[in-house]
Amino acid sequence: MTTPPRDRFSRPFAARALASMLMAVAIALPCTALADSQFDKMRAKIAAFVADKMEKLGGSRIIYKVDSDGLRESVVTDLRDDVYKTLREAKIAFSGLAIRDCGVEVRIADAKGREQLVRKLASAAEGLPSHALTASDGGDGLLRLAPTDAASAARLHDLVDDSIAMIEQRLKDAGIKLASVQPEGRERIRIFLPDMMEPERITAMFARKVKVGFRLVDLSMPAEQAQSGAPPAGTEVLLGFKDDKPYLVAKDSVLDGNDISYAGPGFASATKEPIASFRFNGRGTRRFAHITAENVGRPFAIVLDDKVISAPVIREPITGGSGQISGNFTLEEASSVAMMLRAGSLPGHLGLIEQQVLQPAARP
C-alpha cells in the first residue's frame, strides 16, 4: 500500500505537538485534589480528545482488550496462596482450602482461628485498596473470602496501566517512538501510530507473550563443549542477551513469569549501576526459597525469550521473595528488561479487537 502524498514535516511535527500537549495537560492536573474516579474520567476525556486529533493525521489504529477473565483467575489464585501461607505461618488448623465461585473457601473449626486469619489478611491489605477483601461465614466453620468490587476494579485499572507501559516500552525497543497509547473504557487500549500504514507489523509484535523463565545452569560440562556437541538430556544451550556467551541450562523453568508480582528499573545500592529488580508472589516466593536452599553454590539463569539476561550464583537461600538483575546495563536497558519481566507476568493476553488504516483527513 502506498502512502498518500503529504507535507514532509508538518504531520510528524503536529503529532509531536499533540503528544507534548497531552503530557503538559497531565502534569498540570491537580491529582491530589481529585478522587480516583474523577481523575480517571478526566484522563480518559483528554486521551480521547488528543487521540482523535492525532488520528486526523492518518496512520494505523489498533485496539486491544486486556484479559479481564485471566486477571480474575490470577487474583483469586494469589488470594488462595496468601490464605495458605497465612494459615501455615499462624499454625491455624484448616481443611478444604479451595477456589470456588470467584472466591476462596476454607473450613476452620476454631472461631478464633477464623478471626485471626481475617485480621491478618486485612492487616496485610491495609493501605492497598486493590487487596481489600470481603469475608462471609458459611456456617459449620466455613469461611468464604473474595476480593471486593472496588479491589477488582483497582486490579483491572492496574492491569490496563501495566499493559500500556509494556506496549510503550516494546514499541520503543522496536524503534517506534512516535505513538499514542491510551486507555479506552475500562478494558481496552487504543494505539495510534501516525503515518504508519502497516498495522500488522505491530500486531505481530504482540501476537505472543514474552517468555520468562528461571532455569538452573548445568555444570556437568562446559557450555562451549555442549554447543559444539550434544548437550546432556534435559538441557540446551542458550546465548547471552548482550554478549552471545553460551550457557548450558535446563530446558524446564523452575519459575516463570506467572510467579512475578512486580518488576521495575532501579539502581544498585552499592555500585549505583542500573538494575532490574523484581518481586515474586506468594507461590513464587516459596518456590524460590526452596530452589535456592537446595542449590547453594550453583548458578541459575534468568531467561527472557530464550536469551540469558543474567546467571548469578546462589550464595545462600533467598527467602525474601525479591531479587535484582545486573549486567552492565544502561538505564534504558534496565527499563527494557524490567518491562519484559513485567510483560511475562501480565495475566492472560491482549486480545486484538481492531486494526485499521486511517487516511489523513482532507484539509479544508
Could you report the average pLDDT of every consecutive run of 10 residues in the chain (364 residues)?
A: 37 39 34 45 67 74 89 86 90 94 94 93 77 89 92 87 84 83 89 86 80 92 91 94 90 88 85 88 86 92 89 87 83 83 70 87 61
Q: Is 299 exposed, middle or buried (0-12, 13-18, 19+ CB in 10 A)?
A: middle
- Distances from the Cα of 118 to the Cα of 82, 142, 147, 151, 152, angstroms: 11, 13, 13, 16, 18
26 phi, psi to nearest 5 deg = -65, -40
Q: Span 35-68+155-209+351-358: which CATH code?
A: 3.30.70.3400
CA distance 184 to 265: 27
Q: What angle do CA 348, 287, 308 make, to 5 degrees?
A: 70
Check: CB of residue 237 under 8 Å from CB of residue 247: yes
Q: What pLDDT does 67 receive?
A: 86
Class of domain 212-345: alpha beta
Q: What pLDDT does 33 receive?
A: 31
Q: What pLDDT does 154 receive?
A: 87
Strands of 75-211 (E only): list them. 95-100, 103-107, 133-139, 142-147, 180-184, 188-194
Q: What pLDDT does 15 receive?
A: 40
> Which are the contacts of 29, defined by CB distance < 8 A and separation ≥ 6?
39, 42, 43
Q: What pLDDT does 345 receive?
A: 63
Q: What pLDDT does 364 receive?
A: 57
CA distance 266 to 126: 26
Q: What pLDDT does 363 receive?
A: 59
Check: CB of residue 120 under 8 Å from CB of residue 92: no
Q: Where are the domains of the chain?
A: 35-68+155-209+351-358, 69-151, 212-345
Cell of 23: 503530557
What is the third-level CATH fold of 69-151?
Answer: Aspartate Aminotransferase, domain 1 (3.90.1150)
CA distance 25 to 43: 9
CA distance 364 to 351: 37
CA distance 95 to 167: 43
